[in-house]
């Protein structure tokens, strides 16, 4: 531990920043709330293989993310801290792996510390720490597989080969075939410079057999129960997700190319300049020696083009590429000529001052969202610290640059979390509604939600809710794998007369509450509110009771 003291200090600071406010606000629609609710239903039912969303089977993703999240409920209860806890652990493990991976390419612990710190400073990583999806866990397994492959190629020990295939198998159980993209491209490029120490033998066969058993276990289990699952996973969840806009997530080709630098600020904005100063003067030597920096950058660029070609796009999809970016930036920083370091430090200082000044002024600017006033004195302190570091500290300029961006990232994370906590009514968070329902003793009644899929309500209430489908695409649920009709208790298609009659019987026999979010009841369905005598509005929510 003494030998790697600085990385432990970084981990302690990062742990505090990640965990201190992670449960201070409710789950946010859509992804954060969806994954939290699926895991809640899994934990309550103790059915670890059949994910459910609002009491309807939901097989869009393999179960590992839900299972890990459910473990958080076991440890901390069904709450937002429990939902997001292991998300933070995955980020911390990624920081460690970025550090260890960098040490495979340089003997300088300082450079490895830079790479780990730089990774934490990426805005996309901070977003991933607050948005419960598969992507952070997938990134962990992708990074572990790349690290294991580097160790295997360098040392030839089969234990690393087994770890490589195990990590890929767990990644496959997290998000399917996309786990192969970054590791395979990196391995193909890296193999050019690192000659294999082993010929193909039985261990290779056993390692890939182990991968197949892990990766296919859940899919085979479901396919044996119903052969239609095979076509569902290969067709709709894999091929159609890439080639067709089946989930209505289509964005232009340049979507990731434009967003990637912004989600990696400030380092990715400086990356082209760093490449020009560190690589371009020695381009012939670097290309002939197959420099690792080129391998890392190509291992980012090629998958980025693949993701850009896909029709389904979400910002967190490219998260697995950012660990490789952090390593490459640190290696570029290591080789950056001294005469250029001052310019880089000035740029990072200006970036930090812009963030601190903006957040310091935010509480005093009239906006639709509220910022806590304590950001102003905190910003002044950080501005003073940044200026002292830049102009007075005896620390090396490279260390100053990394430290300033780390301070900025921590402040950005804590400020963003405070924003969600203070302006909770400005976001799609059900907490204010649930608190009011509990205050009025209405939470025990049947909760009906009109024409919206709102898993945040079910999660915050810790109970099943009833969804009324009136044409909203998100409530057009996939029910082909339901073996029983019990799901109909929680889903009514009020576009059909039989379903309307069934709902009317329910309303006549059970006390209920009707909730709307950012919408109103059309004239032909006004009969719904005739069952209620009171109305309450909370921001964009309307409650009939």
Q: Are 167 and 211 in contact (CB under 8 A)?
A: no
Q: Estimate the crossing angle of helix 109-121 against helix 80-103, to 10 degrees.
A: 150
Q: Are 344 and 401 in contact (CB under 8 A)?
A: yes
pLDDT of residue 466: 97
Share of the chain above pLDDT 70, in %: 95
Q: What distance lies between CA 295 and its chain's CA centroid?
A: 26
Range 263-270 average pLDDT: 96
Residue bearing the bigger pLDDT, 392 or 230: 392
What distance in Å separates the CA atoms of residue 539 and residue 542, rounded to the nearest whole number?
Answer: 8
For the segment 290-339, what is each residue's pLDDT rounded down to a tens digit?
A: 789 999 999 999 999 999 998 888 999 999 999 999 999 999 999 998 88
Q: What is the largest CA-CA distance in the chain?
A: 80
Predicted confidence (pLDDT) at residue 421 exceeds the cutoff of 90: no
Cα–Cα nearest to 167, from 215, 129, 105, 205: 215
Predicted confidence (pLDDT) at residue 518 exceeds the cutoff of 70: yes
Q: What distance lies between CA 465 and its chain's CA centroid?
A: 26
Predicted confidence (pLDDT) at residue 167 exceeds the cutoff of 70: yes
Residue bearing the bigger pLDDT, 200 or 124: 124
Range 90-117 average pLDDT: 97
pLDDT of residue 232: 82
For the segment 140-152, what is each residue's pLDDT rounded down to a tens digit?
A: 999 999 999 999 9
Q: Estimate the crossing angle of helix 123-130 against helix 397-422, to 10 degrees.
A: 30
Length of the chain: 545
pLDDT of residue 245: 57
What distance in Å separates the CA atoms of residue 267 and residue 114, rounded to the nearest whole number?
Answer: 12
For the segment 328-379, what is each residue's pLDDT rounded down to a tens digit?
A: 999 999 999 888 999 999 999 999 999 999 999 999 998 778 888 999 999 9
Cα–Cα nearest to 541, from 393, 458, 425, 385: 425
Predicted confidence (pLDDT) at residue 240 exceeds the cutoff of 80: no
What distance in Å separates the CA atoms of residue 138 and residue 183, rounded to the nearest whole number?
Answer: 12
CB atoms within 10 A of CB 210: 16
DSSP assigned state of 429: B
Residue 19 backbone phi and psi in degrees, to 5: -95, -25
Q: Are 441 and 432 in contact (CB under 8 A)?
A: no
Cα–Cα nearest to 179, from 145, 133, 150, 131: 145
pLDDT of residue 462: 97
For the segment 12-49, what is each residue's pLDDT rounded down to a tens digit?
A: 999 999 999 999 999 999 899 999 999 999 999 999 99
pLDDT of residue 238: 67
pLDDT of residue 212: 97
3-state secondary structure of 447: strand
């Amino acid at each position: 531990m003494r030998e790697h003291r600085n990385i432990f200090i970084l981990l302690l600071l990062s742990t505090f920043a990640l965990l201190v406010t992670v449960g201070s606000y409710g789950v946010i629609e859509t992804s954060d709330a969806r994954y939290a609710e699926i895991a809640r239903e899994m934990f309550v039912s103790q059915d670890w293989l059949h994910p459910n969303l609002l009491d309807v089977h939901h097989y869009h993703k393999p179960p590992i993310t839900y299972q890990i999240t459910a473990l958080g409920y076991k440890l901390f209860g069904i709450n937002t801290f429990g939902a997001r806890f292991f998300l933070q652990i995955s980020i911390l493990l990624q920081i460690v792996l970025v550090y260890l991976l960098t040490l495979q390419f340089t003997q300088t612990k300082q450079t490895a510390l830079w790479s780990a710190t730089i990774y934490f400073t990426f805005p996309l990583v901070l977003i991933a720490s607050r948005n419960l999806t598969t992507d952070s866990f997938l990134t962990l397994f992708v990074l572990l597989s790349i690290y294991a492959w580097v160790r295997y190629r360098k040392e030839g020990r089969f234990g690393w080969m087994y770890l490589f295939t195990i990590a890929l198998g767990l990644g496959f159980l997290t998000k399917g075939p996309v786990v192969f993209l970054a590791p395979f491209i990196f391995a193909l490029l890296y193999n050019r410079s690192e000659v294999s120490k082993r010929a193909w033998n039985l261990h290779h066969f056993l390692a890939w057999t182990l991968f197949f058993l892990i990766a296919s276990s859940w899919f085979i289990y479901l396919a044996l129960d119903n052969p239609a699952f095979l076509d569902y996973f290969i067709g709709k969840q894999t091929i159609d997700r890439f080639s067709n806009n089946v989930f209505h997530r289509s964005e232009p080709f340049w979507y990731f190319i434009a967003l990637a630098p912004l989600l990696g600020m400030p380092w990715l904005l400086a990356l082209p300049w760093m490449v020009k100063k560190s690589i371009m003067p020695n381009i012939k030597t670097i290309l002939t020696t197959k420099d690792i920096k080129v391998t890392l950058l190509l291992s980012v660029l090629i998958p980025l083009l693949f993701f850009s070609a896909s029709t389904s796009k979400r910002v967190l999809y490219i998260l697995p590429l950012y660990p490789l970016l952090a390593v490459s930036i640190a290696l570029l920083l290591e080789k950056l000529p001294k005469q250029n370091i001052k310019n880089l430090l000035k740029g990072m200082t200006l970036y930090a001052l812009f963030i601190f000044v903006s957040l310091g002024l935010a509480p005093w600017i009239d906006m639709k969202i509220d910022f806590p006033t304590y950001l102003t004195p905190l910003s002044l302190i950080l501005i003073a610290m940044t200026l002292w570091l830049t102009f007075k500290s005896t620390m090396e300029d490279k260390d100053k640059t990394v430290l300033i961006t780390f301070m900025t990232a921590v402040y950005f994370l804590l400020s963003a979390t405070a924003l969600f906590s203070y302006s909770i009514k400005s976001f799609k968070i059900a907490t204010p509604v649930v608190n009011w329902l509990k205050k009025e003793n209405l939470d025990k009644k049947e909760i009906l939600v009109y024409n919206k899929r709102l898993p945040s309500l079910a999660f915050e209430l810790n109970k099943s809710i009833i969804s009324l489908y009136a044409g909203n695409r998100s409530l057009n649920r996939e029910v082909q794998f339901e073996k029983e009709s019990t799901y109909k208790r929680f889903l009514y298609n009020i576009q059909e007369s039989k379903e309307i009659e069934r709902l009317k019987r329910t309303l006549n026999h059970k006390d209920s509450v009707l909730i709307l979010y950012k919408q109103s009841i059309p004239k032909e369905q006004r009969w719904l509110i005739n069952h209620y005598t009171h109305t309450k509005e909370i921001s964009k929510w309307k409650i009939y009771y």
